[in-house]
A and B are shown apart, each in its own frame.
Chain A
Amino acid sequence: MKDDLYRSMKEAIIAGDRVRAAALAQDAIGSGVDLLEVIEKGYVPGIQRVGELWEEGEYFLPELISSAEAMKAAMSVLDPELARRETKARTAGKAVIGTVEGDIHDIGKNLVASMLQAGGFEVHDLGADVALDRFIDRAEAVGADLICLSALLTTTMINQKRLIGLLRDKGLRDKYKVLVGGAPASAKWAEDIGADGYAENAVAAVKLAKALAGRG
């Protein structure tokens, strides 16, 4: 019985069906099953499978977004109930994310933010064209594990490097893992500027974030 429920949840996420994902979350609340188990055995395997389908070249960006939205819909039903029962979903970590200053491109950043959230991270999305100080201020305020910096332009990615310099100047470099992404970024770029990691796409970003946040 529970297995059927979990399978349906997984399928709803894979299909990107947010209405069904939310309805199943409601069913779970009504039936009194352990909600943490629901997340771990129902929804999480769904989003993991979506990541695999993306890596296999079966899924593209629209499917990824729909599935992340379905995950969000389920969690928005479960979260208030978890809070009422005074339990908390295990968070993978806290991430502050944004597109660096001078750059208004936010498609890639939005996708990574959605996938991080679907992957269990508490995500603080600062938007696009974000002043570098704001990344650090917010990370300090929320006690973030990760700072994720997006840049689409070859002319603005230098701000990823500048942020790392700023962290150093403030004596905060070792407090946060800094992830960089965006079309012109690369693993070599990440290494050159002293970032903690680079991911080529949103699925890889979640894997990297989980490895770096160390809460796995």
Chain B
Amino acid sequence: MSRSLLELVHDRPVLLDGAMGTELMSRGLSKGACPEIWSVERPEIVTAVHADYFAAGSDVVSTNSFGGSRIKLDGHGLAGRTYELNLSSARLARSAAPAGKYVAGSVGPTGKFLSPQGEFTEEEFEESFAEQARGLADGGADVLLLETHYDLREALAGLRGARRVTAIPIFVTMTFNAHPRGFFTLMGDSVAKCAAELERAGAAAVGANCTLNSEQMVGAVRAMRQATGLPLVAQANAGQPVLGADGDVSYSQSLDDYVKYVPDIVKQGARLVGGCCGTSPAFIRAMAPFVVRGASA
């Protein structure tokens, strides 16, 4: 039996992957379409994106299932296919993974609010995430990656829902904004509070992704390091999106500028490092020596 991802994380910093949605769009996914449907309709393209990330050096890729909760899929009229789409997404990543490489089942937010800000109950969120987690686990995910969560209550509901249906490790990344007083989620939860509650709820690793650029991520990792002893995940954006007049999107942080801060992210204690919006296999390839070599430094 090969070693588990958590064992690898214990031994050295681990390289995750970068963005999926923009990679699919650059390969023809139409704007506004549901990316998860491509796990069934265009599986060869999804597999090719995973393969590109593995070739770039990723130890772990995340599945094409970010918007795969039942509640989110319902917005595309696909709620009835929740299990199937997640199962397929995990199988594709599994099939692309060379021996000794890993698959993280991506679980993004529902896009809806819990009561009292919204209409949903925590129980409904749990159900929605449990169904997604079951598909991802059945499809062969090694771990779940609950990512880009801006509401701690929603992330905790995801943890509970996933735990009901699978025993695989669950990683959780929250999305923080940089405030003068520190890093806070949209809902106002601090890094310390998120880390403590997620740890208590049984997360195997916690971290931050999206919104922050790689320079800001250094500070977020430092704050998390002070708050928990769990392995830390860091996946920064390549700055902010900038739209050209022709509708083409670029990101404000160049590859060189992005990579410049990666050694610091590792040095501050991140053990699972990858990219988020605006990153690509080229970013991962450029980061690889700084993440994986960081172990022996």
Contacts and interface: CB of A to CB of B under 8 A. Distances in A.
Q: Is B a genuine binding partner of A? A: yes
B187 A107 contact: no
Given A63-B188, A184-B249, A154 B243 contact: yes
Contacts of A60: 184-188
A69 B187 CA distance: 16
Interface in B104-131: 111-113, 116-117
Contacts of B179: 57
B241 interface: yes
B249 A156 contact: no
Interface in B73-111: 75-76, 111
Nearest to B188: A60
A104 B243 contact: no
Nearest to B185: A60
B25 A57 contact: no
Interface residues of B, number: 25
B32 interface: yes
A45 interface: no
B186 A104 contact: no
Contacts of B113: 65, 107
Nearest to B74: A104
A77 to B, nearest CB: 19
Given A155-B31, A155-B249, 20 more contacts: A60-B185, A60-B188, A61-B188, A62-B117, A66-B116, A66-B117, A69-B116, A101-B32, A104-B75, A104-B76, A106-B111, A107-B113, A154-B241, A155-B25, A155-B32, A158-B243, A161-B247, A184-B241, A186-B242, A192-B245
B36 to A, nearest CB: 13
Contacts of B185: 60
B28 interface: no
Interface string B15-55: 00000000001000001100000000000000000000000
B200 interface: no
A59 to B, nearest CB: 8
Secondary structure of the B contact surface, majority rule: loop
Contacts of B117: 61-62, 65-66
A96 B249 CA distance: 27
Which of A101, A106, A158 has the most chain B CB atoms inside 10 A of its CB? Answer: A158
Contacts of A156: 31-32
A102 interface: yes
Nearest to A160: B243
A153 interface: yes
B197 to A, nearest CB: 16
Interface string B201-241: 00000000000000000000000000000000000000011
Contacts of B188: 59-63
B181 interface: yes
Contacts of B116: 65-66, 69
A105 interface: yes
A7 to B, nearest CB: 25
A186 B180 CA distance: 21
Interface string A75-116: 000000000000000000000000001111111000000000
Contacts of B25: 155
Interface in A167-191: 183-184, 186, 189
A157 interface: yes
A106 B118 CA distance: 11
